Structure 1
Amino acid sequence: MRAIGLMSGTSMDGIDVALIESDGETVSRFGPAATYAYTDAEAALLRTAIAAAQDLAERSARPGPVAQAEALTTRLHAQAVRAFLAANGLDAGTIDVVGFHGQTILHRPERRLTVQIGDGAVLARALGIRVVCDFRAADVAAGGQGAPLVPVYHRALARVLDRPHPIAVLNVGGVANVTFLDGVPDPYACDTGPGNALIDDFMRERNGEGRDPAGAYAARGRVDQEAVARVLAHPFFRMPPPKSLDRNDFRAWVAREAGLDACTMEDGAATLTAITAASIAAIVPHLPAPPRTWVVAGGGIHNATLMRMLAARLAPASVETADAVGWNADALEAQAFAFMAVRTLRGLPITFPTTTGVPTAMTGGIVIAP
């Protein structure tokens, strides 16, 4: 099947679009990929919706800014797919399915609640293409964490990867998650802690940019190792998998324990980057075995300071970007939702007891005809 995957992650920098050809077991062809960036105003509305969603009691509730953000999310995803098709000389009639993740605005699996905005039915009609959406809800309703979802795709890629095993695939988005692969049938995975979210939010408060380009500010700063230790004392880091996070779960804890209000922008960026690296390394004792190879994807690969810190924390294992092993690091999650859309159509599982803690392997996603 020819499938397009769409991903708007918790970093909220834009919409990733990717095309693959797959039977849901392997990928026979990797097609083009692109990112369509959000404007500052669009990203601001998404952040407002996340703030408004914190008190939601039902998945279907759409208070004012949430409804506005959902309409915007759907419209921008439709525009992104149309632009992608046009840029690559593709006809909508040649696409079998679109995997549409939407935008996560609340993730509370302990309440059996996860909310992704974006109207799959409206998107299917706008594109004239079958859409699979709402990938997380069934898993959470069954008692799973609803995250991470991408490990089933990591497994397909790693099967043909010529690197020493065990392999850990690390995605550093707003939240970081890891997939452990060692030849066993089901992947083993969990969220590890904050990814880029803490750094992005700090930089937005300090200079309005919303990120530390290439880790340049962090590279000039001094890490407060005592602050790192205080943050890493959070019980989450001692919990065994399965476990998952909402984007903002650590904001209050870090604000209290790291005490960055009086520090320079460079020192704050350095300390938060060190917290992300240390929290990722803290998962190693909870994995079935120490990975020999780490493959890193997501926006975090563009932060050179973070990559250096990860290499130091995870030694003697090798740490490589997904691009370095022949994958597309920036498109990986979009490709994954294309892959999972095909699996959903075929009735194949996308989550497992070893990835989300769901009682039994299960498929997910709602199929919507145009």
Structure 2
Amino acid sequence: MIKDNYTVIGVMSGTSLDGIDLALISFKKATNWSFKIEIAQTVVYPKTWLNRLKNLINLGTSELNELDEEYTTFLASVINNFIKTNNISNIDAVCSHGHTALHRPELGYTLQIGNLPQLSNLIKQTVVCDFRIQDVELGGQGAPLVPIGDQFLFPQYHWCLNLGGFANISSQENTNRIAFDICPVNIVLNKYVGVLGFDFDDKGILARQGIFHQKLFNQLNQLAFYYEKAPKSLGLEWVKTNIFPLVDSYNLPINDVLHTYVKHIAFQIAKVINQKQNTLVLATGGGVFNDFLLEEITKLTSNQIIIPSKNIIEFKEALIFGFLGILKLRGENNCLKSVTGALKDHSSGKIFNIKK
């Protein structure tokens, strides 16, 4: 049923594996869309799940299918606990991204685990999920999907920059929304800081202490992906093939790796946002808490980097996947060909209702 008010739970698990983000959000449709994040929480992965998800890329088909079943059950328990703990009732849907296991759009496939039909019965709610597959089937990248949310929920910004496992960005170009992945961020930084026994580099302190390595910096910037035109997207497979072997070949101290890689991220981001001068850049995602990274980006641009409220920084993707789910329920386009390169704009995702 089409209506003007919706309450949903948005659920997101990113490639940086910092946990499952859950957000209870109310949306209102008037002339424009408005929203309010009512409750938000990140559930950190237990070590057993963290280790299993890190190894996804090495699993065969049957092992992936088995893990998909188990992850769906685990995800359901996380969502049920969020609903019970916060006394949540009368929601329109749970809108879940799942967790990316494989993403090779150039080969015609993508897989997000945790999107099986039984999720709806396990949580006793309507579920909207699996937003990427249809786009890939239509010849698109299946990513990024957040830009339509940027367009409708954050129209006052010239650039919407997300600093998560990967840096991705969107902007309005005349009547089209343009978006693409820029470079890996936390998926690389967290791997190397893990060697030192940390989950992440708090405020970028460890990176700040390192020494810049010009040759590694130059080689990173010469990777072919950075010269491709949008639409384009990145996955863990690309990082394992292109970034890790290159970085490891230098055998540098970890602090020097972090320092040099942060400067690489800043360079690639500035190269994009400097295409427009004197603009507002909304920055969200866990990378925003890396002070050293933000300083390095700011040094390279005259544009104004805007840091929003903590809830939007941390839960913007959960918020927008909630919004994508609403658009799907309304039968409206939630995936843009100008962003993904698909054959057409479309209403992507699957709707699972409770079986009676």
The TM-score, its normalising length taken from structure 1, stands at 0.88
1:245–1:290: structure 2 CA closer, same or farther, 3 Å change rule?
A: farther
What is the alpha-carbon distance in structure 1 between the residues aligned to residue 147 and residue 38 of structure 2? 20
State whether structure 2 residue 304 is matched by structure 1 residue 297.
no
- Alpha-carbon deviations, 1:80-133, whole Å to 9, x = none? 222222332212xx0111111111011111111111111431110011110011
Aligned match of 2:93: 97
Within 5 Å, give how 1:28-177 maps onto structure 2. 28-52=35-59, 62-64=61-63, 66-91=64-89, 94-159=90-155, 161=156, 167-177=158-168
Aligned match of 1:207: 196
Deviation at 1:227, TM superposition (A): 1.1
What is the alpha-carbon distance in structure 1 between the residues aligned to residue 66 and residue 270 of structure 2? 39
State whether structure 2 residue 214 is matched by structure 1 residue 225.
yes
What is the alpha-carbon distance in structure 2 between the residues aligned to residue 253 and residue 119 of structure 1? 29
Aligned match of 1:342: 326
Which runs of 5 or more structure 1 residues have no equivalent in the other structure?
54-61
- Give, as a single letter, the amino acid of the residue that structure 1 aligns with 2:133: A
State whether structure 2 residue 355 is matched by structure 1 residue 368.
no
Aligned match of 1:58: none
The TM-score, its normalising length taken from structure 2, stands at 0.91
State whether structure 2 residue 307 is matched by structure 1 residue 321.
yes
Q: Which runs of 4+ in 1 moved over 3 A?
A: 255-261
Aligned match of 2:236: 247
Contact 2:159–2:273 (8 Å) recurs in 1: no
- Give, as a single letter, the amino acid of the residue that structure 2 aligns with 1:309: E
What is the alpha-carbon distance in structure 2 between the residues aligned to residue 86 and residue 259 of structure 1? 46
- Give, as a single letter, the amino acid of the residue that structure 2 aligns with 1:108: R
State whether structure 2 residue 340 is matched by structure 1 residue 356.
yes
Deviation at 1:52, TM superposition (A): 2.0
1:124–1:270: structure 2 CA closer, same or farther, 3 Å change rule?
A: same
After the TM superposition, which of the residue ranges 18-27 and 42-51 deviates more from structure 2?
18-27
- Alpha-carbon deviations, 1:159-179, whole Å to 9, x = none? 3x4xxx6x1111111111001
What is the alpha-carbon distance in structure 1 between the residues aligned to residue 353 and residue 96 of structure 2? 13
What is the alpha-carbon distance in structure 2 between the residues aligned to residue 351 and residue 267 of structure 1? 40
SS of structure 2 residue aligned to 1:335:
helix
Deviation at 1:270, TM superposition (A): 0.8
What is the alpha-carbon distance in structure 2 between the residues aligned to residue 42 and residue 251 of structure 1? 20
Contact 2:115–2:130 (8 Å) recurs in 1: no
- Give, as a single letter, the amino acid of the residue that structure 2 aligns with 1:198: V
SS of structure 1 residue aligned to 2:117:
helix
Superposition CA RMSD, Å = 2.0
Contact 2:12–2:97 (8 Å) recurs in 1: yes
Contact 2:94–2:322 (8 Å) recurs in 1: yes
What is the alpha-carbon distance in structure 1 between the residues aligned to residue 304 and residue 253 of structure 2? 32
Identity percentage of aligned residues: 28
Aligned match of 2:21: 16
Deviation at 1:243, TM superposition (A): 0.4
Deviation at 1:281, TM superposition (A): 2.4
- Give, as a single letter, the amino acid of the residue that structure 2 aligns with 1:174: G
